[in-house]
Amino acid sequence: MAQPKEFPRPFATLPEIRRAAHARLPREAWNFGDGGSESEATLRRNRRHLNRLAIAQNVLVDVREIDLSTSLLGVPLSSPVGIAPMGGLVLFHPEGDVEMARGAGKADTLQWLSGATGWPVEDVAKAGKAPQMFQLYHHGDRGWVGELLKRVEASGYKAVALTVDTQHYSRRERDILARWSPRKAMEIAPNPRGPFHDYQMRLTWADVEWLIKTTKLPVGLKGIMTVADARRAAEMGVRLIWVSNHGGRQLDHTQSSIEALPPIVDAVAGRAEVVIDGGFSKGTAVLKGLARGAKVVMLGRTALWGLGADGADGVARVFEILREQMHIAMGLCGRTKIADLKPDLIFRAD
């Protein structure tokens, strides 16, 4: 078998890291990570709608000191980006979630651990030095979730976000066409997945109420895309509204997350913190999300390619480049701290 092409270290750019991951990963894993659902319209729309926004170029501001630090749910963060939860990381690196935690630690970057983690939550917590939060899949009944949450709390995760956009697993047609089952392939990881996937189909607001009462951690909802749902969540005490369409992997032909964001931020009106993901792959894109009102921008595939290209070092390099990009872009648009990134910075260009 031909050896994958080697890339010089450190990687030079984010697209180079993506290319290195593509060269190294088995084709099925690449397609599982890179792909979306059905026609992939949502996947493309996320990126297209980010690209059509422009950043106002304010000049003649002293930008020698630029501060990227912020916080999420009271947890201090050295930069306004985090790693979105991703299941199946064993397909991208033999030590999957644990290796991702090492990379997040090196990069001092918030890591959301997937509820479909391939490793026990305790092992991932031990491997991570940066802040960690937990994404919950209701892959079992309330008894199962309650037990899992006790372990999550005891391991030091700082928040829990229930993913609510997976009532059904979508048709990921790249995998279907290859007659390849990601679920089967990821069984090589040590942590068993939850016993009852279809439980998610029955979730309602009553389960959110139950979750808020059951855990000591601040509760978020991941996969909120409408004003009505965001308002209802904020009213019932949800602390984190995560605007997301699962990176174009669930409902095809839905809105882009960057377009869903501004009215949600308005409706929530400071009652909860709002974060976003979907198509963010460079520093300027992160600035657009923050300027439109997200507290933090989460990155899925961009971090995943770091893991696939070079494990923890690859992940750390992704966030090093991103920070440099954010730093430069902030200087060039005349803003020196995250709180200065306001909607007036962004306009529709084409």
The one catalytic residue in 168, 246, 253, 327 is 246
> What secondary structure letter does DSSP report for 67?
B
From CA 201, how far away is CA 296, in angstroms rounded? 29
Which positions from 302 to 331 touch ligand FMN by CB under 6 A, shown as an x/- string? Answer: x-x---------------------------
- The residues that bridge with 76 in the sheet, in sequence order, are 71
Closest CA to 321 of 337, 310, 336: 310
Interface stretch with ligand FMN, choices 99-107, 173-181, 227-235, 299-307 (CB under 6 A)? 299-307
Structure tokens belonging to residue 190: 């040590």
Residue 153 CA to residue 23 CA, distance in Å, equals 38
Residues 6+ apart with CB under 8 A from 63: 330, 331, 334, 336
- Residues between 173 and 192 with contacts to ligand FMN, criterion CB under 6 A: none
Per DSSP, the residues of 138-194 read --S-HHHHHHHHHHHHHTT---EEEE-S-SS----HHHHHTT--HHHHGGGSSSPPP
The per-residue b/e assignment along 187-203, b for 16 or more CB within 10 angstroms, e otherwise, is eebebebbeebebbeeb
Binding mask 141-170 for ligand FMN (x = CB under 6 A): ----------------------x-------
Residue 204 Cβ vs ligand FMN, minimum distance, rounded to whole Å? 18
Query: Judged by CB under 6 A, which of 45, 138, 139, 222 binds ligand FMN?
Result: 222
Question: Catalytic annotation on 246?
Answer: yes
**Contact present, 305 and 314 (Cβ < 8 Å):** yes
Tokens matching residue 75: 């947890």
Among 82, 85, 96, 103, binds ligand FMN (CB under 6 A): 85
Site for ligand FMN contains 31 (CB under 6 A): no
Number of residues near ligand FMN (by CB under 6 A): 24
Beta carbon nearer to ligand FMN, 11 or 92: 92
Choices 72-80, 173-181, 298-306, 314-322 (CB under 6 A): range interacting with ligand FMN = 298-306
> Which of 131, 247, 293, 306 is close enough to bind ligand FMN by CB under 6 A?
247
Residue from 80, 82, 87, 308 in contact with ligand FMN (CB under 6 A): 87
Place of tokens 């068993």: 192
* List 246, 295, 317, 323, residue binding ligand FMN (CB under 6 A): 246
Comparing every residue's Cβ against ligand FMN, the nearest one is 300
Active site residues per annotation: 246
- In the complex, the residues that contact ligand FMN under the rule CB under 6 A are 33, 84-88, 114, 116, 135, 163, 222, 244, 246-247, 249, 277-280, 299-302, 304
